Amino acid sequence: MNQDVLRELGRRCPEQKIATLDVDATVIESWKREAKLTYEGCTGYQPVLALWAEMSVVVADEFRDGNMSAHQELLPITQRAFQALPETVVERYFRGDSACHEHRLLEWPRDEQRAGGPQGRIGFAVSARMNPGLHTEMVATPGSRWQPYREDSMVVKECREVDYVPEKWQSVSRAAALCDHSDSQEAAGLFADGSTVK
């Protein structure tokens, strides 16, 4: 039924040629006896949705028990989501949080002759988990290389392109880093570990 809805959406909105798919899992708390313990400490479920951002439409979903890891087996739902898009879409993008930072998943959009999905370019952006190599690169970056990104009453956010690329991601074309910090005395201990920089 969802595929029929998407085909009709493509027919009614043929001018929408771009699709950015957001793939994300979310914890839904439940008190049913069958509900499993989630990483948040409550019982519930952790469904994964693939949302077509430009149209605010779910193109694929997968119901999951609450104890299933958020980063487990995201490639199949990503493939189904891209296959479900109407033929009117000619420009495709993928974005995800750090649960999507998984080698097999990120190799798939890089392959323009990919199996299980549309041919051609899929641009993508995925958050990376902090690791020692990336942390070392960020700390070693002189302050002059950071550019303003956003500021609120407590935290200054800065960004820059970083040279760090993990060995298994040699085909990554660009990596960006964000830094949150505060120079004010009131914000000492702003983050849980007591630091003023994140």
Domain ranges of the chain: 1-127, 129-198
Asked if residue 86 has pLDDT above 80, the reply is: yes
At the second CATH level, the architecture of 1-127 is: 2-Layer Sandwich (3.30)
Asked if residue 63 has pLDDT above 90, the reply is: yes
Q: pLDDT-derived band of residue 135, with 50, 70 and 90 as boundaries?
A: confident
Cα gap 67→18, rounded to integer Å: 34
Please write the tens of the pLDDT for every residue from 5-42.
888 888 899 999 999 999 999 899 999 999 999 888 89
In a 3-state reduction of DSSP, which class is residue 122? strand
